[in-house]
Amino acid sequence: MAGADRDIRYPANAERTAIQSGGEYVGRTRSRVRRSMASAYARAQSHANSAHGGPTGNALVTEARKYIGTNPTGRASLWCGAFMDMVLKRTGHRGGGNLASAYTRYGTRVSGPQVGAIAVMGRRGGGHVGVVSGIDANGNPIIVSGNHNRTVAESVYRASRIHAYVLPGG
């Protein structure tokens, strides 16, 4: 087998390539990539307060969920604001900057959680920010955020932690 016949990106060739290379796959097949992404998602959601806000047509939520289990910012620390900024810009909104606390002055304030609103939280040593993807049965927001256990994750946060909810403008 040579050339395109050995290309393991094509499922029909992957098995033959594995057999010819002593049973080990050379490179990644599509199914292995899907498994590794599913594994990253599972790792990101494996903590006690993980949740999924359910299906939504909201562009911010959809864009933020694309990165669950990853760190698309490349930053080592304090990157939830940078992640939110990236998601806003990729959905056609004005960016809000890299600091979580800056989002209290961003967009239009709303009185409570709603899908697509940006939730701004306080925490010891700084703040945290993410996008609301749903609301649990107890009224707590489900939020997709960066730098949650060093990855993008979707989790329930106590409503009492939220300092502000804001809707992005254009």
The residue ranking higher by pLDDT, 137 or 25, is: 137
Which CATH number does the domain housing residue 68 bear?
Answer: 3.90.1720.10
pLDDT tens digit sequence for 12-66: 434 433 333 334 334 444 444 445 555 554 544 444 444 555 667 799 999 999 9
- What local confidence, expressed as pLDDT, does residue 38 receive? 54
Query: Residues 21, 73: one domain?
Result: no
Q: Are 143 and 79 contained in the same domain?
A: yes
CB atoms under 10 Å from CB of 110, counted, come to 14
Both 150 and 110 in one domain: the answer is yes
pTM: 0.70
Instruction: Report residue 90: phi and psi, to 5°.
Output: -70, -15
What the block records as the tokens of 60 is: 């911010």
pLDDT in tens, 89-110: 999 999 999 999 999 999 999 9
Number of domains in the chain: 2
Percent of the chain with pLDDT over 70: 67
User: Does one domain contain both 92 and 117?
Assistant: yes
Instruction: Tell which residue, 45, 50, 71, has the closest CA to residue 155.
Output: 50
69 shares its domain with 130: yes
DSSP letter for 37, please.
Answer: H
**Gap between the Cα atoms of 10 and 114, Å rounded:** 43
Same domain, 20 and 64: no
Q: Do residue 77 and residue 150 come from a single domain?
A: yes
The predicted structure's pLDDT at residue 8: 43
Domain with 25, as residue range(s), is: 3-44
pLDDT of residue 47: 43
One domain, residues 19 and 68: no
Statement to judge: residues 19 and 93 lie in one domain: no
In terms of domains, do 39 and 65 share one? no
